[in-house]
Chains A and B, each alone.
Chain A
Amino acid sequence: AQTVTQSQPEMSVQEAETVTLSCTYDTSESDYYLFWYKQPPSRQMILVIRQEAYKQQNATENRFSVNFQKAAKSFSLKISDSQLGDAAMYFCALGFGPGANSKLTFGKGITLSVRP
């Protein structure tokens, strides 16, 4: 079974500052993928960043980067130069495949607020 844990329900960051969102996971699969999804109040679930477990290099997408610690099963998201538009709920997710049971397992999510 796969589990994803996001232990912080809420976080707040000052505009232009950096914030790190934590996520830990557990899986017995050797080939898996990790994701951070953003869901603003307008509700569209948007993929922020994706990490393939077999890649040692941490993924980056503009102001978003991850710290992937495979041995520790940790997958944190760093948002640099935070903007008001970053305010949203963020979900960490774990997936694997190909396979008949391929699906995403989500964490409980964290609500990020950005202070102007």
Chain B
Amino acid sequence: DTEVTQTPKHLVMGMTNKKSLKCEQHMGHRAMYWYKQKAKKPPELMFVYSYEKLSINESVPSRFSPECPNSSLLNLHLHALQPEDSALYLCASSQIPGLAGRNLVFGPGTRLTVL
């Protein structure tokens, strides 16, 4: 298994809803990442988990709450989002945290729309 999977593919939510995005990999990678991508823009790093511990938070608002229950699974919990949070959310993984600059594998993304 050499891929990163993400569910759901699409998500529409209201500003008062609580939802979660899920990411999974079975490559034995020990670093996992959340990126946010607006249309026609490059991905922006949000969070990095290294060996299941949060190692980088790129000053992301608290309405986004990441969770890494185990080495294969990464969640992003969403609460009280704003319409400007509508974007493609990409998950990625790398073999070890220090190799993000060498070999990053991306998932297909979740298209989020906040109404």
Contact = CB atoms under 8 A, between A and B. Distances in A.
Interface of A: 32-33, 37, 42-46, 89, 91, 94-100, 102-104, 106-109, 111
Nearest to B58: A103
Contacts of B64: none
Given A43-B109, A43-B111, A44-B106, A97 B101 contact: yes
A93 to B, nearest CB: 8
A55 to B, nearest CB: 13
A28 B83 CA distance: 38
Contacts of B99: 97-98, 102
Contacts of A99: 98, 101
B80 interface: no
B25 to A, nearest CB: 14
B45 interface: yes
B106 A98 contact: no
Contacts of A95: 100-102, 104
Contacts of B114: none
B108 A98 contact: no
B40 A109 contact: yes
5 contacts: A42-B108, A103-B45, A106-B42, A107-B42, A111-B40
Contacts of A37: 106
A98 B99 CA distance: 5
Contact of A102 (B40, B43, B100, B107): B100
A87 to B, nearest CB: 14
B104 A43 contact: no
B43 A106 contact: yes
Contacts of B98: 97-100, 102
Given A32-B101, A44-B106, 18 more contacts: A33-B101, A42-B108, A43-B108, A43-B111, A44-B108, A89-B40, A91-B42, A94-B101, A95-B101, A95-B102, A97-B99, A97-B101, A98-B98, A98-B99, A102-B100, A102-B102, A103-B45, A106-B43
Contacts of A32: 101
